[in-house]
Amino acid sequence: MRPTLPTLVSVLTPLAAACAQAQTAPAEPVPQVVVTGSPVAVRALDAPYAISIVDADALRAAGPLIQLSEAMARVPGLVVRNRSNDAQDLQISARGFGARAGFGVRGLRIYADGIPATMPDGQGQVAHLDLAGAERIEVLRGPFSALYGHSSGGVIALFTAPAKRSEAEAAIDAGSFGLRQGRLGAAARFGETLDLRVNAAVVDNEGFRPQSASNRRLANLRLGWQHGDDRLLLLVSDHRQRADDPLGLTRGQFDADPRGTTPQALQFDTRKTIAQSQAGLQWQHRFRGETLRDGRLVLYNGTREVTQWLAIPAATQANPRHGGGVVHFTRGYRGADARLTWRIAEADVVSGVTVETQDDDRRGYNNFTGPANAPQQLGSTGALRRGERNRADTREAYLQASAAPAEHWGWSAGVRSGRARLRADDRFLANGDDSGQLSYRYTNPVAGLRWTVRPGWTLHAGAARGFESPTLGELAYRPDGIGGFNTALKGQSSRQFELGSKVRGRAFSLDAALYAIDTRDEIGVMTNLGGRSSFQNTGRTRRHGAELALGWQALPTLKLQLAASALRARYRDGFLACAGTPCTVPTLRVPAGSRIPGAPAATGYAELAWTPAIGIGEFAAEWRAAGRTAVNDSNTEFAPGYALASLRWRHSVALGGADALELLLRADNLAGRRHVGSVIVNDGNGRFLEPGAPRSVLLSVRWKHGF
């Protein structure tokens, strides 16, 4: 049953009234301002959609500033799973969108200072994000995410902190399982017009499983300039990484040894190398007219090179149509976003266009040297088996307006329309022609209302139509094993509805939302074996759930934060799936009502922080939990739920003059519980489970010097 406004009001009215009576602190809090989802910056309280902010302080307290998963558990509706496998990045989903991703991020849009970290085909990465330099991260869920284009079931937007003063920072992190990080940062202001921030880090991690070590180097630069009516922002990043891949485990392997590695990973030395460089330029001009207020142009360009050695037996690669066990691609990507902001009849209006292009030179090789029937060396790059040029283009236009006609209510509405075109040109025809192309067109309208019940308490409602196109990887293989693009794969469309409430007081905050999402032509994993994943449309699905985030400054020295989510994600239509491998014709009936794999039914987070008045730092206890998760369409296997407890201590010490020392000590998974950190949906080998980290400790020492 879909949520209704009377239901939401009846639930929240007593709570909001009690909160209003409980406000006794003398000072008003500084209101949080967001820009994601709105034509202009607005208070988070007034935004007619569910949005959360994770600020720099929360990021720095959550860990070594390496993984987005460290701090994002406090955002309801968002699931960021750490695979403990740097070769495959994080698994991120919002309200169930993106849960099927076996690697990278799908179904969500990622941005860093307005520069997309999501490729034109809809797949994104987060490893290059500069968490150490972040001022805040905004997380948008629900209908208004459709304004960001196709494949947008949610938006994660990172904003780098401008340099407000000249300072330098050096940090060392040391943790369990060989985790070591060295980081240097500097910020400088040059008069009133120029500011510069630079961060560089080197991370080594041995991992708690064999074949899970990694080395990562990351550098980020932010250069800002402003003069008169103009502002320029230059962003440059470089990310280099080598990571071993321990692969997933079967349920039997996990039960026997959750810190083990499947033998095939060692046999083939499974691993991955990444080199990514990107530059973005943002120019903003303020107009002085009564109607035209602002103009912005964003340009970006980048390259990404990946080589991955997979655990595919030589006998499997003997199939003439197989693309080999080593994947290598060199990607060039670029884009532009131009927009204008207007003030028309008391409404703020933004209009714009985006153009994005992605070119992949993709090759495949045998993962052995020597003849297939007597391999000389496994895990090495052998003969060429695949050569393609893949391309993805998007062209979009968007329009959004918002206004507050009266003191107690406001509205926001918009539309984004575009086309995504994906193409493959096969240049290695010895094993057949795998060329093909598809185009997808979409128009996504959005509308929302906000009603102020009383100062500090608002209700909001929103609705939208969304669209998600397949990625180039999802179109690469046909389920029947015949060459060519998967031309039968359609884009999935959704209708989203949301009702929510926000309360802000002197010592209390509350965000709650109910939502329902109906999807047609849901894209699902059909086969996932031997380095080849094929996808199919599984018909209609329905997701509905609830989200709650609560913050309470119980005492000047005591603070409580809670976040909880419940999600019911089900297939509304039955369909056929693969019962085993090999599989070219699905025969296993998946009945309507089965759970969508990869999406946990519930998640929770709690934090109690105490800062004694005697000045010995902050002590905090954290708790995070997830319900059990289906790992395949037939729902015959589940990853068990878990609850983990952590402790932290954080203290800043003034060293005299302009120097300060920040110390962070964390102990995570205190009970040493074995748990599944992430899942691989519909894995053909049954290796669905990726173990979470055992008990671990971290010590971070951060020294700052001001100039």
Q: Is 89 strand, coil or helix?
A: coil
For residue 443, count other CB atoms closer than 10 A to its CB.
Answer: 11
- What is the C-alpha separation between 706 and 167, in angstroms, rounded? 4
- What is the C-alpha separation between 662 and 649, in angstroms, rounded? 11
The number of angstroms, rounded, from the C-alpha of 112 to the middle of its chain's C-alpha atoms is 12
The helix (H) or strand (E) run that includes residue 260 is none
pLDDT score of 62 more than 60: yes
Question: What does the H/E/C string look like for 604-630?
Answer: EEEEEEECCCCCCCEEEEEEEEECCEE
Which residues on adjacent β-strands are paired with residue 167? 187, 706
Q: How far is CA 102 from CA 2, 108, 583, 665, 683, in A?
A: 31, 14, 19, 32, 9
pLDDT score of 18 more than 70: no
Instruction: Give the pLDDT score at 530.
Output: 62
pLDDT score of 661 more than 60: yes
pLDDT score of 237 more than 60: yes
Question: What does the H/E/C string look like for 325-356?
Answer: CEEEEEEEEEEEEEEEEEEECCEEEEEEEEEE
Q: Is 455 strand, coil or helix?
A: coil
Instruction: Give the pLDDT score at 407.
Output: 86
Cβ–Cβ < 8 Å for 107, 492? no
Cβ–Cβ < 8 Å for 615, 622? no
Q: Hey, what CATH topology would domain 5-706 get? A: Maltoporin; Chain A (2.40.170)
The helix (H) or strand (E) run that includes residue 126 is none
**Is residue 704 very low, low, confident or very high in pLDDT (cuts 50, 70, 90)?**
very high
In 3D space, the residue among 567, 517, 449, 459 whose CA is nearest the CA of residue 2 turns out to be: 517
Predicted TM-score of the model (pTM): 0.94
Instruction: Give the pLDDT score at 89.
Output: 84
Q: Is 127 strand, coil or helix?
A: coil
Q: How far is CA 248 from CA 101, 212, 312, in A?
A: 14, 11, 14
Counting residues of the chain whose pLDDT is more than 70, the rounded percentage is 94
Cis peptide before 582 (omega within 30 of 0): yes
- What is the C-alpha separation between 65 and 282, in angstroms, rounded? 25
Residue whose pair of structure tokens reads 């598809």 in the numeric block: 438
- What is the C-alpha separation between 135 and 57, in angstroms, rounded? 9
Q: What are phi and psi of 121, to 5 degrees?
A: -85, -5
The pLDDT tens digits of the residues spanning 174-184 come to 999 999 999 99
What is the average pLDDT score of the chain? 91
Q: Is 266 strand, coil or helix?
A: helix
- What is the C-alpha separation between 440 and 470, in angstroms, rounded? 9
Residue whose pair of structure tokens reads 């100062």 in the numeric block: 455
Tokens of 552: 């309470």
Instruction: Give the pLDDT score at 375.
Output: 64
For residue 533, count other CB atoms closer than 10 A to its CB.
Answer: 21
List of residues 6+ apart from 580 with CB closer than 8 A: none
Counting residues of the chain whose pLDDT is more than 90, the rounded percentage is 79
The pLDDT tens digits of the residues spanning 370-399 come to 875 666 799 999 999 999 999 999 999 999
In 3D space, the residue among 219, 168, 222, 220 whose CA is nearest the CA of residue 194 turns out to be: 222
Instruction: Give the pLDDT score at 4.
Output: 43
Which residues on adjacent β-strands are paired with residue 555? 558
The pLDDT tens digits of the residues spanning 177-226 come to 999 999 999 999 999 899 999 999 999 999 999 999 999 999 999 999 99
The helix (H) or strand (E) run that includes residue 568 is strand 558-571
The number of angstroms, rounded, from the C-alpha of 375 to the middle of its chain's C-alpha atoms is 40
Instruction: Give the pLDDT score at 22.
Output: 40
pLDDT score of 581 more than 80: no
Question: What does the H/E/C string look like for 573-584?
Answer: CCEEECCCCCCC
Task: Determine the average pLDDT of the residues in 274-299.
Answer: 95
- Phi-psi group of 450: left, alpha or beta (phi > 0 → left; psi -120 to 50 → alpha; rest → beta): beta
Task: Determine the average pLDDT of the residues in 486-501.
Answer: 95
Q: Are strands 105-106 and 123-124 parallel, antiparallel or unpaired?
A: antiparallel
Cβ–Cβ < 8 Å for 478, 438? no
- What is the C-alpha separation between 439 and 131, in angstroms, rounded? 36
Residues in the chain: 707
- What is the C-alpha separation between 597 and 636, in angstroms, rounded? 11
- What is the C-alpha separation between 702 and 679, in angstroms, rounded? 34
Instruction: Give the pLDDT score at 13.
Output: 46
pLDDT score of 24 more than 60: no
**Is residue 163 very low, low, confident or very high in pLDDT (cuts 50, 70, 90)?**
very high
Question: What does the H/E/C string look like for 670-699?
Answer: CCCCCCEEEECCCCCCCCCEEECCCCEEEE
pLDDT score of 580 more than 90: no
DSSP of 128-169: T--STTEEEEEEEESGGGGGG-TT-SEEEEEEEPPPSS-EEE
In 3D space, the residue among 390, 402, 391 whose CA is nearest the CA of residue 350 turns out to be: 402
Q: Are strands 154-160 and 109-112 parallel, antiparallel or unpaired?
A: parallel
Instruction: Give the pLDDT score at 657.
Output: 81
Which residues on adjacent β-strands are paired with residue 105? 124
CA dihedral 121, 123, 127, 129 (to 10 degrees): 60
The pLDDT tens digits of the residues spanning 312-353 come to 988 888 888 888 999 999 999 999 999 999 999 999 999 999
Domain ranges of the chain: 5-706
Q: Are strands 602-610 and 618-626 parallel, antiparallel or unpaired?
A: antiparallel
- What is the C-alpha separation between 250 and 687, in angstroms, rounded? 4
What value does the CA radius of gyration of the chain take, rounded to a whole number of Å?
A: 25
In 3D space, the residue among 24, 90, 96 whose CA is nearest the CA of residue 466 turns out to be: 96
DSSP of 8-74: HHHHHHHHHHHHHHH---SSPPPPPEE-TTSSS-EEGGG-SS-EEEEEHHHHHHHSSS--GGGTGGG
Cβ–Cβ < 8 Å for 453, 16? yes
In 3D space, the residue among 190, 247, 242, 182 whose CA is nearest the CA of residue 216 turns out to be: 242
pLDDT score of 25 more than 50: no
In 3D space, the residue among 531, 686, 682, 691 whose CA is nearest the CA of residue 210 turns out to be: 691
Tokens of 678: 């992430």
Least confidently predicted of 436-440, 482-486, 667-671: 482-486
- What is the C-alpha separation between 364 and 382, in angstroms, rounded? 9
CA dihedral 595, 596, 599, 602 (to 10 degrees): -20
Tokens of 219: 């550098």
The number of angstroms, rounded, from the C-alpha of 53 to the middle of its chain's C-alpha atoms is 14
Q: Which residues of 663-686 are buried (b: 16+ CB within 10 A; e: fewer)?
A: ebebebbbeeebbbbbbbbbbbbb
Which residues on adjacent β-strands are paired with residue 166? none
